[in-house]
Structure 1
């Protein structure tokens, strides 16, 4: 049973290009399916989450991360009486705009694009699903519903000026009410991202040997989980002990998010999805105590994982890859594949247009392709 403030397919604001309905799927199901079948979604398989894709088969990639976010989001949406199909679509699409090498690649490309309107992975995701995926006869992009596009654009909350160029371009032709909060479904997808990456980054950091179980167990949220496991199963092998502890941390985050959001929704008492957008504050939230515990985990991960010497050495190496590729393609667009060169109108030498085309091309690369292309260009 959907709550009054849930998003309903029948009330969707529709698509930029009208296609009519489907006999078998709701409009949000079709969005989800189009995202799963997109080229950009497949490429997430070989894009960095924290560790560059070739560093190990067991570490998360952007694809496995997106799948885990969608699983968490479906669970929470169901518990709160929200539309699971829209929630899943937004969750699966939220990282489509990521560059190779994760946030390191994004930082490098953003710096290079600063003179040309900047680069932001959330805005790039909008650009991908509205323009760069070119598989359909009648339109560019995936022609997703307004609600799914809104959720992708507002992944971090309302978007205030100055808008990223890629987002501003689309909003000018199909306004997404960027100044308001997103639907409750999109808010669930956003916080499910926090739940997923905090938990799986702890697992990946332990697997990589960047910190120990004892160091992790010193964190206030994690310590009770290890204590409970040790009390129930003393002498458990390391891998099982670790998994049992971290699945409890995962459960505590999800339970807190569901219970706190129920209380917030009861307090705000929205009677429609429009009320959610204009509530003036998020309706999907962690408790203050849980947010503080999550911030402690993030600070721990930042120091011990994201800024670990081995990770930093790799960050420096892959930053040079982006910094080398961008000016080469910008100075000589003939190095681009012919289908990409066709994106520039004949005689178009505007630096911003060329830079945006190069940024689109590089942002779409997988880790391995970027490394191979860099080696080829160097040769």
Structure 2
């Protein structure tokens, strides 16, 4: 686990191309510019008011898409440093991996998938690419942020090859071939595994705060049992809040150690020397070990039963799906009711499928509170909301 610098299988910023050529006037390398452009984007700011599990107004201390993305980025930089790959690229992918998510977390995405069934579907990873390459409008020379090929490739494929790309991804891939049938570079694979590490740990903490389960129930999970028992033994008067924080911290440490050790084993096994060795390997290089995956699955099963399917959460998600679905139906039937900047994009559109994609671009970009506000404005017959 010793730190390695400038490994031969790292992506190299000066070798990465962009769809539109630009002169470097800032002194930053290309991956640093990617990260900075993402942070200054409108879509990134909106993550503050987009849900992970709990609706945004449920409490001030639950994770949002923004805090989750920051946690993923912090973890990714740490692991990227261990392997001597590009930290800035891993950070950029981590910060932007959730930009395409709909409001209200997975409930909103499920609703958009359902309503878009007849119009080419909805996929949040493809929507992320669409935001970064088309919908963000910050520069006079081009739409999007003009990020590097390595960054966009990593975002498109951080969960693995994309054999059947959704419409938004397919459209961009025609312009800028992201080689969707291969695996992404290690920087992107690190971002992906850190996404898992972050939500495995923070959903436990959020579930405890929401009183959906308690520490005694957590202690029955084999992967957490020894951590909690050891902390209670070492600190007799430890408070529940500190106990949960330390449990989360040690759990994260255990996940990182397993990923690093197993990934090192695979790098040696496949004699990885270059970034193309990673892309062409035929399987993920950065992953949990099989035995650790089994224990993690018990955590996920626990969270599914105690948290994601808890009646309080299900009530929230049912309401959220209704808001998203009904907003979509309303704007699809009444596209002239879209805001002017969106209405202008449909002036030359003559088919319903293209109109549906404009509507989904608008809704997917909404924050939780904006979606709720628009729902009230559209469906509340109280004249004060007109």
TM-score (norm 1): 0.98
| Aligned counterpart, 1:374 | 375
Per the alignment, in what secondary structure is the counterpart of residue 342 of structure 1? helix
| Unpaired runs of at least 5, structure 1 | none
Q: 1:253 aligns with which of 255, 274, 279?
A: 255
| Unpaired runs of at least 5, structure 2 | 381-386
Q: CA deviation at 1:280?
A: 1.0
Q: 2:15 aligns with which of 11, 19, 26?
A: 11
1:70 aligns with 2:73: yes
CA RMSD of aligned residues (A): 0.9
1:172 aligns with 2:174: yes
| Aligned counterpart, 1:264 | 266
| Aligned counterpart, 2:214 | 212
Find the aligned partners of 1:11 and 1:142 in 2 and give their Cα distance: 18
| Aligned counterpart, 2:225 | 223
Find the aligned partners of 1:273 and 1:25 in 2 and give their Cα distance: 22
| CA deviation map 1:197-240 (0-9, x unaligned) | 01000000000000010001110110111011011101211111
| Aligned counterpart, 2:383 | none
Q: How many residues are matched?
A: 376
Find the aligned partners of 1:368 and 1:259 in 2 and give their Cα distance: 42
Find the aligned partners of 1:290 and 1:81 in 2 and give their Cα distance: 24
Per the alignment, in what secondary structure is the counterpart of residue 296 of structure 2? helix
Find the aligned partners of 1:349 and 1:366 in 2 and give their Cα distance: 29
8 Å CA contact 1:4–1:271 kept in 2: the answer is yes
1:299 aligns with 2:304: no
| Aligned counterpart, 2:162 | 159
36-45 vs 240-249, which deviates more?
A: 240-249
| CA deviation map 1:33-68 (0-9, x unaligned) | 000000000000000000011100000000000000
1:150 aligns with 2:153: yes
| Aligned counterpart, 2:330 | 328
Find the aligned partners of 1:275 and 1:38 in 2 and give their Cα distance: 33
60-69 vs 289-298, which deviates more?
A: 289-298
Q: 1:30 aligns with which of 25, 30, 33?
A: 33
Q: 1:344 aligns with which of 346, 364, 373?
A: 346
| Aligned counterpart, 2:143 | 140
Per the alignment, in what secondary structure is the counterpart of residue 365 of structure 1? coil
Q: CA deviation at 1:272?
A: 1.1
TM-score (norm 2): 0.96
Q: CA deviation at 1:268?
A: 1.3
8 Å CA contact 1:122–1:155 kept in 2: the answer is no
Find the aligned partners of 1:364 and 1:27 in 2 and give their Cα distance: 26
Find the aligned partners of 1:319 and 1:155 in 2 and give their Cα distance: 27
Find the aligned partners of 2:99 and 2:301 in 1 and give their Cα distance: 26
| Aligned counterpart, 1:357 | 358
Hey, which bits of structure 1, 4+ residues long, moved more than 2 A?
Answer: 20-23
Q: 1:191 aligns with which of 170, 190, 193?
A: 193
| Aligned counterpart, 2:96 | 93
Find the aligned partners of 2:287 and 2:374 in 1 and give their Cα distance: 43
8 Å CA contact 1:131–1:141 kept in 2: the answer is yes
| CA deviation map 1:215-269 (0-9, x unaligned) | 0111011011101101110121111112112211111001111111111111112
Find the aligned partners of 2:270 and 2:8 in 1 and give their Cα distance: 13
Q: CA deviation at 1:21?
A: 2.6
Q: CA deviation at 1:155?
A: 2.2
Q: CA deviation at 1:23?
A: 4.4
8 Å CA contact 1:49–1:62 kept in 2: the answer is yes
